[in-house]
Amino acid sequence: MPGQDVVIDNSTPEFKAYLSLPPSGHGPGLVVLQEIFGVNAVMRGICDQFAHAGFVTFCPDLFWRIQPGIQITDKSDAELQQAFKLYGDYDVDAGMGDIAQAIEVLRERPECDGRVGAIGYCLGGYLAFLTACRTSADASVGYYGVGIENSLHEANDLDRPLMLHIAERDQFVPPDAQARIHAAFDDHDTIVLHDYAGMEHAFARTEGLHFDKASAALANTRTVEFLRKHLA
């Protein structure tokens, strides 16, 4: 079932999201949180992938306050420079309001059975961590989130399931940052950490520079099992 762009029409002003439905047409909801390249072909493909696994996926345009409709890639220096500028200009706290709103909009859609999770990559991986801590999401997953080590206190009262995938050779999450994350969360009751030896940032980005098929498949399998368990 092909995905489509929809309007989050109870927001002011309105902003858009990409919606992809499972073959059955209904299921648990999953808000997909973008990388720094916008709701591009990679993010849409991720939505379609998790829709095929049974989730009603919803990828909001988190850069809409800066420039609506960003869809760039990691294939040129100019696009990379634009992406990092967008990252620098992005207001995380305002964005968390957008994510909370997207969760509630998805929860109320007729295709959604009521439970909603979140999954994010890179910037979205950090936002998935914050989503677990700040919103009503029933379960969250973050892939190589950047900046989590600076917000560990956000999880002080976290009582909802969270899974974090950590790339051992992530140039944006260096070893000391990874050590701080492990020290804070290894014994946490509701947080699960998975490390990927030898992997670099964005190892799950299909056709990306550091894509690793085996590690991506392992992370995705773990993610689907985790989400099915907690969103069923």
pLDDT tens by residue, 204-213:
999 888 999 9
**E strands, 9-61, in order:** 15-20, 27-33, 56-60
Overall fold of domain 4-231: Rossmann fold (3.40.50)
Note whether 159 and 136 are within 8 A (CB).
no
Encoded amino acid at 215, one letter: S
CA dist list (Å): 145 to 12, 50, 122, 151 = 28, 19, 5, 11
Rounded CA gap, 45 and 218, in Å?
A: 18
| DSSP letters spanning 157-182 | T--S-EEEEEETT-TTS-HHHHHHHH
Residues 145-167 have a mean pLDDT of 97
Give me the chain's average pLDDT, please: 95
Count H helices and E strands in the chain, helices first: 6, 8
pLDDT at 194 over 80: yes
The pTM (predicted TM-score) of the whole model is 0.95
Q: Has 170 been annotated as catalytic?
A: yes
pLDDT tens by residue, 50-79:
999 999 999 999 999 999 999 999 999 999
Given pLDDT bands bounded at 50, 70 and 90, which one contains residue 27?
A: very high
Q: What strands, in cross-sheet order, belong to the sheet with 139-143?
A: 4-8, 15-20, 56-60, 27-33, 112-121, 139-143, 162-167, 191-196
| Tokens (6 digits) for 188 | 């946490």
Active-site residue among 61, 74, 170, 212?
170
Active-site residue among 61, 138, 165, 201?
201
Encoded amino acid at 209, one letter: L
Given pLDDT bands bounded at 50, 70 and 90, which one contains residue 12?
A: low
pLDDT tens by residue, 151-161:
999 999 999 99
